[in-house]
Amino acid sequence: MPKGLREIRNRIKSVKSTGQITRAMQLVASSKMKRAQDAARHGRDYAELLGEILETAMSKVGEFTHPLLTKREVKVRGVLLITPDKGMCGALNSNLVRAASEISNAAFVTIGRKGKQAMARAGRTLLADFPVSDRANFSEVRPATEYLLQAFLDGKVDTVEVIYAYFKNTLVQSPRVQKLLPADSLAAQAHDLRVRLNLPTTAAVADNRDMIFEPSAQAILERLPALFFKQAVHQAVLESKASEHSARMVAMKAATDNSKKIASALSLEYNKARQAAITQEILELTAGAAAQ
C-alpha cells in the first residue's frame, strides 16, 4: 500500500475516535445540563420569593441600618469568581477570566479549578478557593458565602462582587459582574433581581393593611440581608453550572459534527487515492503486457 494511503487511513481512525469521545462528552453534558438548568430555574423561584419578602418587609419598616448595608471607602474589591472545574466548554472559561482580569486592586475568592489556576498564573491575590460539586447544594456553597461575609465584616475586602456565567438559554451564556455587598439599599437590590430575572417590577402582592413583624422588624431584618446574600451567591453558582453544561454540550456537539465532516472528507480523499493507485497499477500491467 502506498504511504499516502496509510497516512490518510490513520487520520480517519484518529478523527473517528476523537469524534466518539466528543460524542460521549456531549451526551454526558446534555444529561447534566437538564438537571442544572432545572436547578437554576428553581433557584430563581427561591430568589424571587426571598426578594419579594424582603421588598414588602422593607416597604413597611422604613429606615434601617446594618453592617452589610453600609458603604465604605473601597481599598480592596473582593471578587468571587465562579468558573467550571474543567475545560472543553467553548469560550466560557476565557470569557470569565477576561472579565475577572479587567478588575484592578482586587482580592479573589474562586469556586472552580479553572478560575483558580488562571488567577494563580496571573499572580493575582487569591484569598481562598472552594470546591463545589455538580449538584451545587445550598449547603455546599455555604462555606464560600460564610467566608466572604466574614471577610467583608472584618474589613479584608470592602466590596463583594461576583463574576459568573449568566445562563440565558442553552446557546447563550454571558459573563456577568454583579455587586452584592455592600447592599446599599435592599429595595434597589430586590428591584435589580426582578429586572435581572425579567419579572414584573411591582410587588406581586398588594395588601395595604399594616404588617405585623414577629418577633420584631429588627430581628427579621438583621438576618434577611445575610440570607439574601447567601442565596444570591448560590443562585450565581447554579447559573454558572447550567451555563457550563450547556456550553459544553454545544461545544461538544460542534466538535462531533466537525469530526464527522472531516472523517467523510478524508474517506473521500482516501477512496480517490485508492482508486488512483489501482488505475495506476492496471495501467502499468497493461503497458507491460503491450510491451511483450
Cβ-count burial of 207 within 10 angstroms (0-12 exposed, 13-18 middle, 19+ buried)? exposed
Among 67, 76, 213, 274, which residue sits at the site for other proteins (rule: CB under 8 A)?
A: 213
For residue 109, how many other CB atoms are within 10 A of its CB?
Answer: 25
Question: Is 187 a binder of other proteins (CB under 8 A)?
Answer: no
Between 28 and 147, CB nearer to other proteins:
147
Smallest separation, CB 116 to other proteins (Å): 19
| 45, 102, 281, 284: residue in contact with other proteins (rule CB under 8 A) | 45
Q: Which of 171, 212, 287, 290 binds other proteins (CB under 8 A)?
A: 212
CA 72 to chain centre: 30
First-to-final CA distance of the chain: 27
Q: C-beta of 212: minimal distance to other proteins in Å?
A: 5
Q: Which x/- pattern over 225-244 shows residues binding other proteins (rule: CB under 8 A)?
A: --x---x--x----------
The DSSP call for residue 158 is S
Pick from 6, 42, 98, 272 the residue near other proteins by CB under 8 A.
42
147 binds other proteins per the rule CB under 8 A: yes
Question: Which residues have a Cβ under 8 Å from the Cβ of 86 and sit 6 or more positions away?
Answer: 113, 114
- Three-state secondary structure call for residue 166: strand
Instruction: Give me the DSSP letters along 50-91.
Output: HHHHHHHHHHHH-----GGG-----SSEEEEEE--SS--STT
| Cβ distance to other proteins smaller for residue 191 or 260 | 191
Shortest Å, Cβ 49 to other proteins: 5
- Least distance CB 75 / other proteins (angstroms): 26
Q: Which of residues 242-281 bind other proteins (CB under 8 A)?
A: none
Task: Name the catalytic one among 68, 79, 89, 252.
Answer: 89
Task: Identify whether 35 is a catalytic site residue.
Answer: no
Interstrand relation of 125-130 and 77-82 (parallel, antiparallel or unpaired) = unpaired
In the complex with other proteins, the residue whose CB is nearer, 16 or 147, is 147
